[in-house]
Structure 1
Amino acid sequence: MDTPEWLNPDGLSRTELEAVLDRAHATHRFSLVIISCNPVHHQEYLFWAVSRGISVLCDKPLLVTEGAAYRPEAAKRIIGGYTELGQALTRARASGPCHLAMPLRRRASDIYRSIAADIAEMQGTYGQGITSMQLIKNGGLFRHPEEYLLGDAHGYRSGVGALSFSSYHYVDLLAWYLELAPGEAVRLRVTNPFVRRVGEFLRTRQSTTLAKLIDTDDAARIPDLPPEVLAAESDFVFHLELLGEKGQKAGLVTYACHSNTYSHRSVGLQEFDRTNRQSFREKGRMSQFTLDINQGSIQHIGVFKNDVVGEDYRIRVQRRRNPIVTSEPYVEQVFDNAHAGSSVTPQDVLQAMVRLTSGESAPAQVADRIAFFEDQRLSHHLFGTFYELIAMSAEGSGPAERTVELTG
């Protein structure tokens, strides 16, 4: 029987929180912690669990710091925290098994794994790495201004925005594919040519056009938003130049995130939103993206998705290979119910983690689809680097680029 014991960490210091958790563990002796809360609080729970040898399944992103969108010193702590967590995990494993993983749907999905296999095949057979990769993610999330104050795990009060709440899956996807097919690239030169913050978005006509159609009471619902909300990132673009051993340019990866694109929303702010009785509403949110991958002149893969959130997801994949390397140059597949229809789902990953932490083996078909901590070194370094560049943009100071090693 599920009989939860609710713990309220609000207002507790880190020492007090650890004492509360220690008492809970002494009573229940659990072997797995599942973390799903505002990601700026992940670190406290992660370090507590790992330092005691307790396995963890943590929601994305693994680590982010409060104010990372506009305070460079806070943004720098993301990669630093990741390094410290790795060290704590190594110490814990000296005394026995300790697993740390994230339920990343794309790492487990049949679709994305088939794309990964195609990419790896061209790298393994011909040595042809990825030479260009563009991912355009359109969130389609329209909000009235005061709705930026609502929500817990998807709120903006912590001074972080769309990179934390909508992007880690995609950052991880780019990192995963790059590691499978780096070609001659050994490092990445990362720049942030565009970032638009919530405050900047709210000063545009885009922020009012739909509002006037679905809710004409404009004057009554525009609050004074706190500075940490106004400074949180809403839309952004990152360029990752692929550099060879001698500094030669081997290609370019681009990630563009647009939070406020086409929205299916047709209703205004409802009472249970206004009173914050529901932590997050997805009225009109879309899940739209285009992923374009080229491996030189050998292979092109296109992935397309355009769905209202809550409906069955449909993903279309097109693959072309040069006719000299295949008898089937063009393949197109359409996957209906793409996420839930995968042979391995996030629910399967959760069940496998429970089995691992109880001393059993994970099912063979699931074991290699769990996104463990060690699988995400590049993902997290890119994530932290992106926040460093966003924060430096807010200050208007510091270098305009960062370098990230592909391996090591």
Structure 2
Amino acid sequence: MTPIRRHASRTGHAREDDMKNFLVVGVGPHARRTHLPALAAGQASGLVGTMCGVDLLGATDVLVPYDADDGPRSLPVTLIEPFDSRLQALPDRVRHALDTVVERRSIHAVVVSTEPAYHMVYTRWALERGLSVLLDKPLSVHADASTDPRQAGAILTDFDDIMECYRQTRHTFPQLMVTVQSQRRYHPAFWRIRECIAEVAAETSCPVTSIQSFHSDGQWRMPDEMIDLSYHGFDRGYGKAAHSGFHFFDIVPWLLAAGETSGKELDAVAVHAHITRPGDLLAQMGVRDYERLFPAFAARNPYTEPELRSATRLFGEVDAFISMAYQSRGRTMTLGSINLVHNGFSQRGSLTPAHASLYKGNGRVRHETHIIEQGPFQAIHLHSLQTLNDGTPSADPHAPGNERHVEVHVFRNRTFRPDWVKYAGFDFGTLAATSESEVALPTQESSRRRATWEFLEYLDGRRTREGMSSELTGHRRGATLMAGAYLSMAQQWTGASPVATLDFRAAPEPASAPAQGQVEAVL
């Protein structure tokens, strides 16, 4: 198909009547909860025209309901036949169906929110047609990535390949944009942390010397659900590191970059992952344990424990504790860990889940911490510790355990620098107060909305390329960490070295990309 050519304004962006219609590829629970409401808000503000969706036959209906700010809505969906995720290009019948939607509905931009193994093939198709892309995380993943080193390494190859496609396409469509929905880059708590790191680095030339990140979401899967429920599951040979791990593979390098100074740029990373798989969970809590805890489990569960072990042998990771050594010119500059937990504290208490996919709800809660040391000069702690709202009134809705709990603690060496404040604390209220608008709340939901809003502003000519927080060009290091984690897992599976050492230099900016018009960027 000939690329769709659009008329550009003086700022290099498409005209208003050409740029508002969106195609959402993949309209599952995540898109209905995140992307569709954000786009509907864009419609209300005049940034988005029409919306339509694409999904697989059998996955959804031709009309998908979702909740918008102004009430329930529905999205028209074109259904396509399933195809193999290992394909490098869309099958002819699928490509023709998508091309028809693009032409008939005058689509300008695409949201890719499919199962991650399909992210690259849809993004490549969109770029070939001159369509800007809002890409969900992770950038890509491959079946059996935790057991096959080739599939693990392909995660990084995918990034390099799509970057080259992006560079080439921008010769024809200089205004084209690919941005990644990495919401922690839009979170006021992480803005504050990055500012603190940069301030101390500028005054001392000391980089971040250690960083520990932890995330648990309490996705309690019972033994039979390991096999029977595949959404955000482990049956494709990958798990937690691909589900929500990319957020941390992304935000850690984003923070480390604030501490890099001349001569101390990070150029390599060594990665070592320790993981648990479903078979390990069965050792922790077996079928007999579940029969004792839930008397009805025996009647529901059709599998013996040996059958469960056999069926899940090649499944992906449930929990992953990953250590990193970040290097510059052969010396270790920063030690780090990213510890990712599905099998953690949960508020699920019933045998039958409230929602069949286990994606949201069902007792899932987020416990997240980051501990950052900048040599002898600064320590930073972020804590976000939640539990489900059980209806119990609280005098402080932002206290630990409540839905809006987030706090940042900053400690500085005032003995060394008397003008430094030795301690500063930021809670939900003060983090929100430092934002420039009421919508910039320190919550994941608000940050996701801002990520989409930034993309819409760019397409409307209100924001420059330089003002984008999460353009594809800034994501090679995150892809490197994710590839390194899976390479470590897969190499251990095959009996090779448990440590994967990779180039950690950031991707160069496209040299041929023309400068954008001068538009003030405001978060």
Same fold per TM (> 0.5)?
yes
Equivalent residue for 1:352? 454
Equivalent residue for 2:487? 388
Equivalent residue for 2:343? 260
Q: Distance in 2 between matches of 1:33 and 1:78?
A: 22
1:280 match: secondary structure = coil
Which digits, 9 at most, give the CA deviation of each residue in 1:269-300, with x for residues without a partner?
A: 24863xxxx57353121211221100000000
Equivalent residue for 1:332? 425
Q: CA shift at 1:219, angstroms?
A: 5.7
65-74 or 126-135, which deviates more: 65-74
Instruction: Assess, with a 3 A threshold, how the Cα gap between structure 1 residues 6 and 135 changes in structure 2: closer, same or farther.
Output: same
Identity %: 20
Equivalent residue for 1:72? 149
Q: CA shift at 1:256, angstroms?
A: 1.4
Equivalent residue for 1:176? 254
Contiguous gaps of at least 5 residues in structure 2: 1-49, 53-74, 85-89, 390-401, 433-438, 508-523
Please point out which of 256, 267, 275 is paired with 1:195.
Answer: 275
311-320 or 218-227, which deviates more: 218-227
Matched, 1:88 2:165: yes
Q: CA shift at 1:23, angstroms?
A: 1.4
Matched, 1:220 2:311: no
Q: Distance in 2 between matches of 1:301 and 1:271?
A: 38
Q: Distance in 2 between matches of 1:271 and 1:296?
A: 47
Q: Distance in 2 between matches of 1:386 and 1:166?
A: 13
Contiguous gaps of at least 5 residues in structure 1: none
Q: CA shift at 1:320, angstroms?
A: 0.4
Please point out which of 397, 413, 427 is paired with 1:322.
Answer: 413
Q: Distance in 2 between matches of 1:281 and 1:209?
A: 25
2:77 match: secondary structure = coil
The higher radius of gyration belongs to 2
161-170 or 231-240, which deviates more: 231-240
Q: Distance in 2 between matches of 1:211 and 1:143?
A: 14
Equivalent residue for 1:148? 226
Q: CA shift at 1:111, angstroms?
A: 1.1
Instruction: Assess, with a 3 A threshold, how the Cα gap between structure 1 residues 54 and 229 changes in structure 2: closer, same or farther.
Output: farther
Name which structure has the greater RCO, CA cutoff 8 Å, separation 6+: 1
TM-score normalised per structure 1: 0.88
- Paired amino acid for 2:158: G
Instruction: Assess, with a 3 A threshold, how the Cα gap between structure 1 residues 235 and 152 changes in structure 2: closer, same or farther.
Output: closer
Q: CA shift at 1:27, angstroms?
A: 1.1
- Paired amino acid for 1:330: Y
Q: Distance in 2 between matches of 1:208 and 1:124?
A: 58
RMSD of Structure 2 on Structure 1 (CA) = 2.9
Matched, 1:308 2:409: no
105-114 or 135-144, which deviates more: 135-144
- Paired amino acid for 1:304: H
Matches within 5 A, 1:231-270: 231-245=315-329, 247-270=330-353
Which digits, 9 at most, give the CA deviation of each residue in 1:46-94, with x for residues without a partner?
A: 1100121110111110111122121211111111111110011111110
TM-score normalised per structure 2: 0.70
Q: Distance in 2 between matches of 1:207 and 1:253?
A: 36
Which digits, 9 at most, give the CA deviation of each residue in 1:98-141, with x for residues without a partner?
A: 11112222101111101101011111221110001111222322
Please point out which of 265, 288, 296 is paired with 2:367.
Answer: 288
Which digits, 9 at most, give the CA deviation of each residue in 1:5-55, with x for residues without a partner?
A: 422233346222212111111211211101112111112211100121110
Decide whether the 8 Å contact of 2:235 with 2:315 is kept in 1.
no
Counting matched residue pairs gives 400
Q: CA shift at 1:206, angstroms?
A: 7.8
- Paired amino acid for 1:291: H
Matched, 1:20 2:113: no
Instruction: Assess, with a 3 A threshold, how the Cα gap between structure 1 residues 163 and 94 changes in structure 2: closer, same or farther.
Output: same
Which digits, 9 at most, give the CA deviation of each residue in 1:145-204, with x for residues without a partner?
A: 232345565233322100011211111111111122135353343232511112222222
